[in-house]
Amino acid sequence: MSNAVLAAIVGNRDFFPDRLVAEGRQDILALFKQMKIEPVILSEKDTNLGGVETWQDARKCADLFKANRDRIDGILVLLPNFGDERGVAETIKLSGLDVPILVQAYPDDPDSFAVERRRDAWCGKISVCNNLRQFGYPFSLTTDHTVRPDCESFKADLERFVGICRVVRGLRKARLGAIGARPGAFNTVRYSEKLLQACGISVNTIDLSELFGVANAMGDGDAKVKQRVDAIKGYIRTGGVPQERLVKMAKLGIAIDDWTAANDLDATAIQCWTSIQKNYGINACTLMSMMSEKLMPSACEVDITGVVSMYALQLASGTPSALVDWNNNYGDDPDKCVLFHCGNWAKSFFPEGDFTMTAAEILGTTLGQENTCGAITGRVPAGPFTFARVSTDDFNGEIIAYVGEGRFTDDPLKTFGSRAVVEIPDLQTLMQYVCKSGFEHHVAINKGNTAAILAEAFETYFGFDVYHHETYL
C-alpha cells in the first residue's frame, strides 16, 4: 500500500570499511523495491559509494532532496557504520525538508569485530540522534536500537514510519469543511480553530441555508439528480424510504460535493440535526457514509476535531473511519461497551449488503419519522479496531489526544442504528482519563491496528499531549 517517496541518507565514516556502505545502500534499495517505496538517494557516483560524510557530500545530498522536495514524504537515515553525525544533520538543514525522520543502525556481528567488518553503529546512532536534537529536528526510532533492514522487525518499523509520514503530510495541509452551525445543545464539540491552524489544518465554513438554496434550485428530473439517486440505491438498500426523500438526498449530496470540490476540502463536519430535518426533511447520514467510504470523512454535529481524528485514522490505515458515541455499558463487563450513532458509518464497517437505510429512530420521535429518512442500520462484525480522539485544550493553549486499540465482538446486541460491541482492556481507566481530561463523547474508529502510528505522529511531529492506552488483548 505504501507507494511513499522516502529520501535516504547513507551515513559513512572514512576509517570504517567502504564495503559496509555499499552493502547498506544495496540492502535498503532492495527493501524499498519490495515495499513499493520510491527512493531519493545519492548514486554511487555522486559521492563515495553514495554515502554522506563530508560537507560537500551533505551539499550534494541536500541539492538532490531539494529538487524532489514536493514529493518526499520522509527521511530514512541509514547507518551501516558509525556514520558522520554532522553530515546527517547538515544534509537535512541544507535541504529545507520538514518531514518525519527515521534513524536506523546496523548491528555488529560478535564474530566480526575485526576492522574489516566492524561497524560501531550502535554508538554512532546515539551521536546522530544527539545532533538531530541539537539541530531541533524531531525523529523516530526503530523498535530495536540496531537492526538489519532485511529483518521483519525493521520491515514493520518502516511500514509504521510510512504511515506516520502519511498522517503528518495529510494533516499539515488538511482543509476541512464546517457545514452549518454547531448544534446549540453540543457545547462538547466546541474547538479552537486557531490552534488547528497552527498545525496547518484550515477550516472553511458554509451555512446550511446556502446549500439548501442550491439543492432546491435543482429540478427533480435533472440528469445529475437521477444519477445520484441511482448511486444512493446502488450503495444501500433503501427499503420503504419514499422516492421524494431520496431525490432530496441526491440534491443535497450534489450541493455538498460541488462545494467541497470548489474548496479542495479533505473532510467535512455537518450540522446533522435539527435544522436539516426541520428545514429540509431528511437525515444526512447516508450522504455522510458515502463520503467517508470515498475517503472523504464526514463527522456529525459539526465536530471538527472529531473529523480531524477520523482523517488521521484514515491516513494511517488507508481505509474509511467513523465517528461514534461512547454510548452504553455492556452488561456488567468492565472491559466492554457499546459504540453507536444514528447511522452514518461507512459501509466498509458492515458485512456486504447487511445494512439498510431507515428513518432515525431517536430523532424521529421529536422531528417526525418522515423527516429523518437516511439513517443507516447495521452491525459491525468481530475484528480488531483502533480508536482515536483529538481535541483542543483552550485553557492550556494546546492540542491533546488519546489513541488505543481493541476489538469488535459478536456479543448479542438488540438495537438499531450503526452499532458495535467492543472490548478494550482496562476500559474503565480509559474512561476515567477521557472524563477527567475533558474529552468529547465522540471518538473516531477504524478497522485494523494503527494506534502506534498515530501516537508517534501526534506526539513527535505535532507536539500534541498524547495518551496512548497501550493494552494487549
Using one digit for the tens of pLDDT, what is the confidence trace for 285-313? 999 999 999 999 999 999 999 999 999 99
pLDDT at 1 over 80: no
pLDDT at 415 over 70: yes
pLDDT for the residue 125: 96
As a whole-number percent, the residues of the chain with pLDDT over 70 amount to 97
Which cell numbers hold the place of 235?
450503495
pLDDT at 351 over 60: yes
Q: How many CB atoms lie within 10 A of CB 113?
A: 12
Using one digit for the tens of pLDDT, what is the confidence trace for 29-58? 999 999 999 999 999 999 999 999 999 999
As a whole-number percent, the residues of the chain with pLDDT over 90 amount to 89
Rg (CA), the chain: 25
pLDDT for the residue 239: 84
pLDDT for the residue 17: 74
What's the whole-number mean pLDDT along residues 310-338?
98
User: Which pLDDT band, with edges at 50, 70 and 90, does 19 fall under?
Assistant: confident
Question: For residue 238, what are the CA distances in angstroms to 223, 233, 374?
Answer: 20, 6, 8
Q: How many CB atoms lie within 10 A of CB 149?
A: 22
What's the whole-number mean pLDDT along residues 233-249?
96
Which residues have C-beta within 8 Å of that of residue 472, sequence separation ≥ 6? Answer: 425
pLDDT for the residue 353: 86
pLDDT for the residue 13: 82
Q: What's 107's DSSP letter? A: P
- Contact criterion met (CB below 8 Å) for 374 and 300: no
- Tell me phi and psi for residue 141, to 5 degrees: -125, 155
User: Which pLDDT band, with edges at 50, 70 and 90, does 236 fall under?
Assistant: very high
What's the whole-number mean pLDDT along residues 309-333?
98
Q: Using CA atoms, how far apart are residues 248 and 280, in angstroms rounded to an integer?
A: 8
Maximum C-alpha span of the chain: 82
User: Which pLDDT band, with edges at 50, 70 and 90, does 381 fall under?
Assistant: very high
- Contact criterion met (CB below 8 Å) for 23 and 54: no
- Contact criterion met (CB below 8 Å) for 381 and 180: no
What's the whole-number mean pLDDT along residues 166-191?
95
What's the whole-number mean pLDDT along residues 440-459?
98
Which cell numbers hold the place of 414?
438488540
Please tell me the number of Cα atoms within 13 Å of 293 on its side-chain side. Answer: 17
Is the bond into 274 cis (omega within 30 degrees of 0)? yes
Using alpha carbons, select from 381, 199, 165, 211 the residue that is nearest to residue 308: 199
Using one digit for the tens of pLDDT, what is the confidence trace for 82-138? 888 899 999 999 999 999 999 999 998 887 665 656 688 999 999 999 999 999 999
pLDDT for the residue 461: 98
Using one digit for the tens of pLDDT, what is the confidence trace for 253-291? 999 999 999 999 999 999 999 999 999 999 999 999 999
pLDDT for the residue 316: 98
What is the residue-averaged pLDDT of the chain?
95
pLDDT for the residue 82: 82
